[in-house]
């Protein structure tokens, strides 16, 4: 009898426990951590940004499968700023004020980032920005997980100057006419001149957004390249304009062995729209390639194919940046024990997470991260093959050392300095970048 009773009690308590376990997730669902995703799903930039929205959804789903964060489930809040720069600011405000998100992952173009900056500092929230950019900025509320110019442009030019890269002596800087190419080319021009390249060996040219008739430009490159010196093109041509540019290069017979093109905005996604047969050997500089052979990357690609239900979809550098940024945020939230943006911002500096190229990336005090720099050559199958890699990790340098008005500036968001544009020459916080 007694034995029986105890069994019943046990069974009963087990039942209560089980019931408690079953109801627990239901309770947590009312109390989720919201994560904002601010990427264009329509308009011109949808081509690049939709993929980033998808990869964020995948990362959040995976985190939830691992048990969420601080015992709560994550909930993605997706908005569509429709490639419309002022709308980015409106949607950011909506995410922070109305949806009360803990952090936002978003933006692609520099102008969209600039448009949301005041919103993030006013409402004190966090933005993770995943795209390579022109630098010359460091904000308390923004974490830059893409490359700064010294993590992409400068090593790329160094490679071309080296014997492996062909000892290039003449340079064409070809770009789309907006802030990223203009600033990057300004830095590169200063850098090349500092390396002793005479002004007549540098040609700078800009074309409008979505430019499609490259005949004149390509023949100008051909002409510039026939001065008896090894010539290379450094391309900051953006998005849609790349496909006609490369088609024209192929048709006019410019081979990578003669005049290589080093691109900063051409990734696996852009090549997906191209027959890469005639382009083999042209180069790109990134911090990640889909072809990188590491177990982390293999798992990431497999997960991505499973999530998107299409094993032909490629992965690219900004996707890795979001992977790193999201994992850093998760770690910082765990470290801070709260999602309160103020505490998370302080906890972020020094957080270190694995990247997909077999190493670790660390968040530095200037809110930029450390990354390896890879130079890849386009292959006939639309992938890149790494031909050069920096020996160690490169730390993102927000204020370029090659521009006269930013070479004295540094950024350190830790107390007591807590300044994004500290001038070491005058010893004062403020200067360029102060609005």
Partner 1 sequence: MILIRAIGLTLLLVMASLLPSSAAEADLRAVIAKFATAANFSATEAVVRELAATSDPAVEPPLSALADGNLYIRKADSQVFVGKDAGDGIDLLDPLSGEKAASAAKTDLTKIKVNNGLRRVIRDALGTLTLRATDPAVRIAAAATMFKTPDAANIEPLDAAIAAETDASVKALFEQARAASLLVSDRPEADKLSAIALIAARGDRDAVSLLTSVEANSQGAVKDAASSAIATINSTLALWDAGQNIWYGISLGSVLLLAAIGLAITFGVMGVINMAHGEMVMLGAYTTFVVQQVIRTSFPGLFDWSLVIALPLAFLVTAFVGLAIERGVIRFLYGRPLETLLATWGVSLILQQAVRTIFGPTNQEVGNPSWMSGSFDIGQLAITWNRLWILVFALLVFGVLLYVMKRTPWGLRMRAVTANRRMAASMGIRTPWVDALTFALGSGIAGIAGVALSQIDNVSPNLGRGYIIDSFMVVVFGGVGNLWGTLVGAFSLGIVNKFLEPYAGAVLGKIVVLVLIILFIQKRPRGLFALKGRAVEA
Contact status: 352 vs partner 1 (CB under 8 A): no
DSSP sequence for 331-370: HHHHHHTS--HHHHHHHHTT-EEE-TTSSEEEB-TTSBBE
CB of 36 vs partner 1, minimal distance in Å: 20
Rg of the chain over all Cα atoms, to the nearest angstrom:
24
For residue 391, state whether it binds partner 1 (rule: CB under 8 A).
no
Q: Does 36 bind partner 1 (CB under 8 A)?
A: no
Closest separation between CB of residue 82 and partner 1, Å? Answer: 10
Q: Which of 81, 106, 146, 165 binds partner 1 (CB under 8 A)?
A: 165
Q: Yes or no: say if 321 and 146 are a contact pair by the CB < 8 Å rule.
A: yes
Give the full edge-to-edge strand order of the sheet including 127-129.
74-79, 33-38, 103-106, 127-129, 142-144
- Work out whether 379 is an interface residue with partner 1 (CB under 8 A): yes
Q: Which residues contact 39 (CB under 8 A, 6 or more apart)?
A: 49, 50, 52, 53, 56, 80, 81, 105, 106, 107, 108
Query: From the list 137, 269, 317, 412, which residue makes contact with partner 1 (rule: CB under 8 A)?
Result: 269
CA 23 to CA 171: how far, in whole Å?
A: 65
135 or 181, CB closer to partner 1? 181
Taking the least distance from each CB to partner 1, the nearer of 225 and 420 is 225
| Minimum distance of partner 1 from residue 425's CB (angstroms) | 36
User: What CA–CA distances, in Å, run from 121 to 93, 125, 163, 192, 245?
Assistant: 11, 7, 46, 36, 39
Q: Is 228 in the site for partner 1 (CB under 8 A)?
A: yes
Our finding on whether 389 is near partner 1 (CB under 8 A) is no
Q: Which stretch binds partner 1 (CB under 8 A): 66-74, 87-95, 100-108, 213-221?
A: 213-221
Find the binding residues for partner 1 in span 283-312 (CB under 8 A): 283
Beta carbon nearer to partner 1, 205 or 294: 205
Q: Could you give the string, one character per residue 85-124, with x where binding to partner 1 holds by CB under 8 A and - elsewhere?
A: ----------------------------------------
Give the shortest CB-139-to-partner 1 separation in angstroms. Answer: 29
46 contributes a contact to partner 1 by CB under 8 A = yes
Distance CA 144, CA 129 (A): 5
Tokens of 196: 């002793």
What's the CA gap between 318 and 48, in Å, rounded?
9
Comparing CA positions, the residue from 182, 129, 128 lying closest to residue 153 is 182
The token pair that represents 407 in the structure block: 């070479």
Q: Minimum Å distance from CB 250 to partner 1? A: 8
Q: b/e map of 332-359 (b: 16 or more CB within 10 Å)?
A: bbeebeebebeebbbbbbebebebbbeb
Sheet architecture: strand order including 202-207: 202-207, 170-176, 231-236, 261-263, 283-286, 374-378, 384-389
Return the range that interacts with partner 1 (CB under 8 A); candidates 257-265, 327-335, 360-368, 391-399.
257-265
CB of 363 to partner 1, least distance (A): 30
Of 6, 97, 215, 426, the residue at the interface with partner 1 (CB under 8 A) is 215
By CB under 8 A, residue 273 contacts partner 1: yes
Q: Please, which residue, 51 or 370, has the CB nearer to partner 1?
A: 51
Which tokens hold the place of 134? 């022109």
CA dist 230 and 221 (Å) reads 12
Whether the ω angle into residue 12 lies within 30 degrees of 0, i.e. cis, is no
Which is nearer to partner 1, 47 or 418 (by Cβ)?
47
- Residue closer to partner 1 (CB basis): 315 or 327: 315
Part of the chain binding partner 1 (CB under 8 A), chosen from 3-11, 63-71, 212-220, 417-425 = 212-220
Residue 258 found at the interface with partner 1 (CB under 8 A): yes
Q: Which of 274, 324, 344, 364 binds partner 1 (CB under 8 A)?
A: 274
By CB under 8 A, tell whether 169 contacts partner 1.
no
Under the binding rule (CB under 8 A), the answer on residue 44 touching partner 1 is yes
Does residue number 81 form part of the binding site for partner 1 (CB under 8 A)? Answer: no
Q: Rounded CA gap, 357 and 372, in Å?
A: 8
**346-351: Cβ within 8 A, 24+ apart:** 346/414, 348/143, 349/413, 349/414
Is 210 a binder of partner 1 (CB under 8 A)?
Answer: yes
User: What does the DSSP assignment read for 230-247?
Assistant: -EEEEEE--GGGHHHHHH
Chain residues binding partner 1 by CB under 8 A are: 41-44, 46-47, 50-51, 163-166, 177, 205-208, 210-213, 215-217, 219-220, 222-223, 225-229, 240, 242-244, 247-248, 250-253, 256-258, 260, 269-270, 272-275, 278, 280-281, 283, 377, 379-380, 385, 387
């Amino acid at each position: 009898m007694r034995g029986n009773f105890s069994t019943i009690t046990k069974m009963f308590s087990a039942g209560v426990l089980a019931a408690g376990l079953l109801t627990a997730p239901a309770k947590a669902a009312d109390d989720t951590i919201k994560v904002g995703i601010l990427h264009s799903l329509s308009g011109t930039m949808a081509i690049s940004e939709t993929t980033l929205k998808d990869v964020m959804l995948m990362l959040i789903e995976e985190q939830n499968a691992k048990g969420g964060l601080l015992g709560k489930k994550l909930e993605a809040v997706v908005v569509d700023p429709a490639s419309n720069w002022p709308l980015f600011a409106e949607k950011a405000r909506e995410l922070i004020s109305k949806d009360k998100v803990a952090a936002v992952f978003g933006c692609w173009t520099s102008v969209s980032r600039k448009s949301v900056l005041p919103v993030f500092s006013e409402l004190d929230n966090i933005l993770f920005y995943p795209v390579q950019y022109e630098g010359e900025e460091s904000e308390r509320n923004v974490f830059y997980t893409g490359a700064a110019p010294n993590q992409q442009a400068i090593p790329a030019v160094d490679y071309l100057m080296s014997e492996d890269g062909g000892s290039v002596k003449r340079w064409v800087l070809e770009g789309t006419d907006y802030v990223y190419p203009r600033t990057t080319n300004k830095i590169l021009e200063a850098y090349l001149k500092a390396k002793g390249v005479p002004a007549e060996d540098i040609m700078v040219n800009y074309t409008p957004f979505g430019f499609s008739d490259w005949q004149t430009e390509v023949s100008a490159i051909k002409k510039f390249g026939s001065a008896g010196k090894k010539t290379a093109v450094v391309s900051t041509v953006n998005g849609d304009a790349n496909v006609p540019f490369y088609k024209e290069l192929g048709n006019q017979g410019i081979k990578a062995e003669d005049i290589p093109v080093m691109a900063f905005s051409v990734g696996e996604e852009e090549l997906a729209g191209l027959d890469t047969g005639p382009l083999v050997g042209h180069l790109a500089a990134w911090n990640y390639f889909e072809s990188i052979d590491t177990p982390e990357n293999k798992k990431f690609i497999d997960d991505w194919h499973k999530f998107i239900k299409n094993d032909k979809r490629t992965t690219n550098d900004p996707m890795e940046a979001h992977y790193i940024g999201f994992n850093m945020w998760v770690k910082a939230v765990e470290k801070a024990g709260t999602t309160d943006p103020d505490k998370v911002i302080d906890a972020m500096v020094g957080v270190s997470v694995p990247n997909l190229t077999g190493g670790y990336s660390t968040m530095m005090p200037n809110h930029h991260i450390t990354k390896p720099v890879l130079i890849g050559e386009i292959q006939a199958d639309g992938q890149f093959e790494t031909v050069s890699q920096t020996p160690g990790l490169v730390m993102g340098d927000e204020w370029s050392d090659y521009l006269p008005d930013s070479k004295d500036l540094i950024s350190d968001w830790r107390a007591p300095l807590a300044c994004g544009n500290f001038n070491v020459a005058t010893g004062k916080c403020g200067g360029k970048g102060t609005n």
